[in-house]
Structure 1
Amino acid sequence: MYLVKIYVTYKPSILDPKGESIKAALHRMDYSQVENVTMGKYFELQLAADTKDVDAVVKALCDQLLVNVNMETYRYEIEEVEMA
């Protein structure tokens, strides 16, 4: 079985309103050393052990459903795990 961890964030050219709100709140709480906050999405998927070309499957899932490729970017980690 494969465990896939997918991290999605806005592209650098896209304003992150939630991140900006969090940063403003932190500054109001006297955490002025915080220079930037990025808010994103996180997914964990389990794929069957017999999945062919896991990398291609994950890219297709991200591009077709999980990520808005116009506004967001993503990275992922694939880990082969044994079933318990």
Structure 2
Amino acid sequence: MIVFASLIKKLIEKIMKKNSKYIYFDHSATTPVLPEVVKEINDCFTFYYGNASEPHSPGRKAKEILEHSREVIGKSLGAKPKEIVFTG
């Protein structure tokens, strides 16, 4: 979880250096995915597969990872965690 969050922070910093006006995150399936991202996402799918909306143990862990990621992304962008919306 911490590795994933720090990876997100590094990627945001890298993108911001290239284009400080905005970051477009809605690439869907049309954009190549960095190998580091594939590894972290695969770990989440393998070990933390719970539905973040469910109260069971895997769901609570998934929600913890989701909310931590929201906080890290928010801090990296200068936004509040509640302003970060995940779609999919």
Q: Could you tell me the TM-score, scaled by structure 2's length?
A: 0.27
Higher relative contact order (CA 8 A, sep 6+): 1
Larger strand share, 1 or 2: 1
